[in-house]
């Protein structure tokens, strides 16, 4: 079964290449070697490269952000011995944070920054370093759960800080903050969180960030913001609204901004903290900073990703997450048409390009459907559940979704370079 699957997959892809690219026919020995290699891989590994045809760009179950090639290259450099914590000039010990601090300053406008293992860890660390044993003031509209067990009240409790809830779910006024500060004179931090994966609509309000920052500073408090997604470029010109930018928060006066490395930033799993120097120093000195520290591979990938945000590089062109989010419908439609041509001759397969909606995922822009195109597949011979299962099986797993008894493959999240493999997989899955 697995053997047949591996051979079929290799043959189907070779056939697509032959027809699409007019490449010379491959020899039988090479095809057999390739099939044997895939079979061995499939038996030994549990983690595979997957073709994401879900249309969800930041897909948590598929590893969130796919990295830019620059980030992948940086990871392979760091995989060996590397000057992670060595100043090569003086031959002395340095800090791993040195590789990120200046870059984060460059791209955000903050004094500097550091990164830990993930966003949740960064929030925990910030509160532990800046507010342990002290009250932390949070609006009830921001006591969110992100998924995967991250709940703001739990993180506050774990940090050793004391949660002071204020306002109502939909409305929090500045005077609610005022009252809380009066009641809790020892309060050090106001925490603001971005409601990533849901929206409260209708009769809602919260003080503008700049007003809240001015209020906090006038009373000697810090304003810390957990942004979640962490966009560094304005996506509004591409019709993507509602995701706050890191720079805007810092400009509004937020003292410390926290965001994930593998959401809208499009880098590796990490939690980035950007803000005022003395706060970063306090955070870096805390024992949890060591427990949550970023490993060298992620650090290398994060630095390489951040570099793509520095002029003259255009991050929209270089960072895959941004590229996929901002593609024109015409580009996606052309990819769908190219796939249609590659599978037009598959027997017993009904394949039609249809309109669909993609989503950013990763808690970003939950309500915003991005118009896209999908290949809708139905087989004469096997049911849609079965077809979807076959697409996910074997080498080169393809993950789509089922809608109205058809397997939908959204082309927004498929790269052009993946089309031959995708077509080959469809071809081998539709047999019998
Ligand atoms: C995603 C998210 C987190 C958690 O970040 P991870 O990098 O997944 O740990 C925290 N806060 C907000 C607002 C988020 O959207």
- What does the pLDDT look like over 10-65, one tens digit per residue? 888 888 888 777 777 888 888 888 888 878 777 778 899 999 999 999 999 999 99
Alpha-carbon dihedral angle through residues 329, 335, 339, 340, given to the nearest 10 degrees: 40
Ligand 1 lining (C-beta closer than 6 Å): 118-120, 123, 146, 150, 193-194, 196, 226, 228, 260, 271, 363
Q: Sign of torsion, CA 35 41 46 52? A: negative
Kindly give the distance from the C-alpha atom of residue 119 to the centroid of ligand 1, in angstroms, as a whole number.
Answer: 5
- 41 or 225, which is more confident? 225
Mean pLDDT of the chain: 94
How far is Cα 343 from Cα 349, in angstroms, rounded to an integer? 9
Kindly give the distance from the C-alpha atom of residue 271 to the centroid of ligand 1, in angstroms, as a whole number.
Answer: 8
Atom of ligand 1 nearest to the CA of 123: 10
What pLDDT score was predicted for residue 395?
A: 81
| Number of Cα atoms under 13 Å in the Cβ half of residue 92 | 2
What pLDDT score was predicted for residue 432?
A: 67
- 40 or 202, which is more confident? 202
Kindly give the distance from the C-alpha atom of residue 3 to the centroid of ligand 1, in angstroms, as a whole number.
Answer: 41
- 199 or 388, which is more confident? 388
- 9 or 417, which is more confident? 417
- 229 or 419, which is more confident? 419
Report residue 279's pLDDT band, with 50, 70 and 90 as the boundaries. very high
For the segment 119-148, the average pLDDT, to the nearest whole number, is: 94
Atom of ligand 1 nearest to the CA of 194: 13
Residue 230, pLDDT > 90, answer no
Least confident among 159-163, 183-187, 201-205, 285-289: 201-205
For the segment 278-305, the average pLDDT, to the nearest whole number, is: 98
Q: How many whole angstroms from its chain centre is CA 272?
A: 13
Q: Which domains does the chain have, with CATH numbers?
A: 2-43 (no CATH), 51-59+325-430 (3.90.1150.180), 69-313 (3.40.640.10)
Per DSSP, the residues of 320-370 read HHHHHHH--HHHHHHHHHHHHHHHTT-TTEEEEEEEEEEEEETTBSTT--E
Beta bridge partners of 402: 407
Kindly give the distance from the C-alpha atom of residue 1 to the centroid of ligand 1, in angstroms, as a whole number.
Answer: 41
């Amino acid at each position: 079964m697995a053997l047949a699957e591996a051979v079929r997959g290799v043959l189907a892809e070779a056939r697509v290449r032959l027809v699409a690219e007019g490449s010379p026919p491959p020899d039988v020995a090479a095809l057999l070697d390739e099939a044997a290699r895939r079979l061995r891989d499939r038996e030994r590994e549990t983690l595979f490269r997957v073709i994401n045809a879900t249309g969800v760009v930041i897909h948590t179950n598929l590893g969130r952000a796919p990295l830019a090639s620059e980030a992948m290259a940086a990871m392979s450099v760091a995989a060996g011995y590397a000057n992670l914590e060595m100043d090569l000039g003086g031959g002395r010990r340095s800090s791993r944070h040195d590789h990120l601090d200046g870059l984060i300053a460059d791209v955000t406008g903050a004094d500097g920054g550091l990164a830990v293992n993930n966003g949740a860890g960064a929030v925990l660390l910030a509160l532990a370093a800046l507010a342990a044993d002290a009250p932390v003031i949070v609006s009830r509209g921001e006591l969110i759960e992100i998924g995967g067990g991250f709940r703001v009240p739990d993180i506050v409790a774990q940090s050793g800080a004391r949660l002071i809830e204020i306002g109502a779910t939909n409305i929090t006024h500045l005077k609610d903050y005022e009252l809380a500060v009066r009641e809790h004179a020892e309060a050090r931090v106001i925490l603001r969180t971005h409601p990533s994966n849901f929206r409260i609509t209708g009769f809602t309000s919260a003080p503008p960030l700049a007003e809240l920052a001015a209020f906090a500073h006038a009373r000697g408090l810090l304003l810390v913001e957990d942004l979640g997604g962490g966009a560094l470029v304005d996506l509004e010109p591409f019709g993507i609204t509602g995701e706050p930018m890191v720079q805007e928060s810092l400009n509004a006066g937020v003292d410390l901004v926290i965001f994930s490395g593998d959401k809208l930033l499009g880098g590796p799993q990490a939690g980035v903290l950007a803000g005022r120097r003395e706060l970063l120093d306090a955070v870096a000195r805390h024992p949890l900073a060591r427990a949550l520290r970023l490993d060298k591979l992620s650090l290398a990938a994060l630095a390489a990703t951040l570099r793509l945000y520095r002029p003259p590089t255009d991050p929209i062109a270089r960072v895959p997450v941004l590229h996929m989010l901002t593609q024109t419908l015409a580009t996606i439609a052309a990819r769908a048409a190219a796939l249609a041509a590659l599978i037009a001759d598959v027997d017993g397969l009904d394949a039609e390009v249809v309109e669909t909606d993609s989503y950013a995922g990763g808690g970003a822009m939950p309500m915003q459907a991005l118009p896209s195109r999908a290949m809708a597949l139905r087989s004469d011979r096997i049911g849609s559940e079965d077809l979807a299962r076959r697409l996910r099986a074997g080498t080169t797993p393809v993950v789509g979704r089922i809608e109205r008894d058809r397997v939908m493959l959204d082309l927004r999240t498929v790269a052009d370079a993946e089309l031959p493999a995708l077509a080959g997989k469809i071809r081998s899955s539709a047999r019998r």
